[in-house]
Amino acid sequence: GENVEQHPSTLSVQEGDSAVIKCTYSDSASNYFPWYKQELGKRPQLIIDIRSNVGEKKDQRIAVTLNKTAKHFSLHITETQPEDSAVYFCAPRDNQGGKLIFGQGTELSVKP
């Protein structure tokens, strides 16, 4: 079946440093690549997404890059702040978008 893997599972950085989380997928039909952020005790929320006809998308301090040939996409957070501390999930999907497999999550800790 389809496989989605996220790395690393935990990431600890100093405030101001950059953080990168990678998501690898197996379904070649995937063409939509979102990242969700889940703060402690809260629901997941979309923070950035990219479609397969775009290689990179940036929104202030966060960016997503896509390598469709290698079947992976990455979340980049620059100038990290304590409020970036959360669990981040990827959830690539195809055009139908019915059945979904989330990555197992990356717990990011930003130390002041």
Binding site for another protein (CB under 8 A): 31-32, 34, 36, 43-46, 49, 51, 89, 91, 95-105
- Measured from the CB of residue 112, what is the shortest distance to another protein in angstroms? 26
Percent helix / strand / coil, the chain, rounded to 5: 5, 50, 45
Q: Which helix or strand (DSSP H or E) is residue 86 part of?
A: strand 86-90
Q: Which is nearer to another protein, 86 or 91 (CB)?
A: 91
Q: Which is nearer to another protein, 27 or 49 (CB)?
A: 49
The SS3 call for residue 84 is helix
Q: Which is nearer to another protein, 59 or 79 (CB)?
A: 59
